[in-house]
Homo-oligomer: A and B are copies of this chain.
């Protein structure tokens, strides 16, 4: 009977972190959560949930509103200023990445603002084929006069406007591109590339295996940071591009790990 008690204790009491992970999952899935739903669902008081939401909101992982919370990616909000701030950096990154793309190449890319900047910067006389799951990226590529564009289809993940699912991954696995260019959200020498969205990670994982060379684009702020879910090891990266000069100290460990830094 002690086992029984233990069972229920394990069943009913969710650790704080467990709860918060679950909350984030729900928020990213449904774009919104209600305090009352969550408290009923995991059998804790409203206050506890509210405290969780406030903490998560303070970390910027969601947006707290009266009655619940909304996904932060859902609503274009204060982070826009920061986006504008790093716009210049992304432009530099895009320029560096451009040098890798040659005529006739087959390139598979992720989404994200850095990739969008790359797509906008493509020289008009380039003739290449781009593959992506990201709807905004595909639209941007489609504006190019010469390049071919292939959209990977599947269920659309609404907050981030990209397709994800087993169909998408199967399709990506059928591809062997010349380059895979990923915009990444966290890179650490030990934890490799990581991200906080399950679907994004699955797709990126598939993409890393779908090309001869793996190129990663990121602003330097994201270097030496981690996110919950791993995409791949750092040593899987072939080329790393940031806005910093290649000889910067921050990048030294990655060079030593055999990554080409631009």
Contacts and interface: CB of A to CB of B under 8 A. Distances in A.
Nearest to A163: B151
A16 B142 contact: no
A158 B152 contact: no
- In the complex, the count of this chain's copies comes to 2
Given A154-B151, A156-B151, A66 B15 contact: yes
A33 B151 CA distance: 26
A156 B142 contact: yes
A13 B67 CA distance: 10
Interface stretch (A2-10, A205-213, A243-251): A2-10
Interface residues of A, number: 51
A21 interface: yes
Contacts of A139: 135, 161
A255 B88 CA distance: 60
Q: Which of A15, A21, A141, A151 has the most CB of B within 10 A?
A: A151
A145 B68 CA distance: 15
Nearest to A6: B37
Contacts of A33: 10
A40 B152 CA distance: 38
A211 B158 CA distance: 24
A173 interface: no
Given A18-B32, A30-B10, A151 B135 contact: yes
A97 interface: no
A222 interface: no
Nearest to A63: B17
Contacts of A148: 155-156
Given A37-B10, A66-B15, A149 B155 contact: yes
A72 to B, nearest CB: 12
12 contacts: A2-B41, A3-B41, A5-B37, A6-B37, A15-B70, A16-B67, A17-B65, A21-B74, A32-B145, A135-B135, A135-B139, A151-B151
Given A10-B37, A18-B32, A149-B158, 20 more contacts: A2-B41, A9-B34, A10-B32, A15-B67, A15-B68, A17-B75, A18-B65, A135-B138, A135-B142, A135-B151, A139-B161, A142-B156, A142-B161, A148-B155, A148-B156, A150-B154, A151-B154, A151-B155, A152-B153, A153-B163
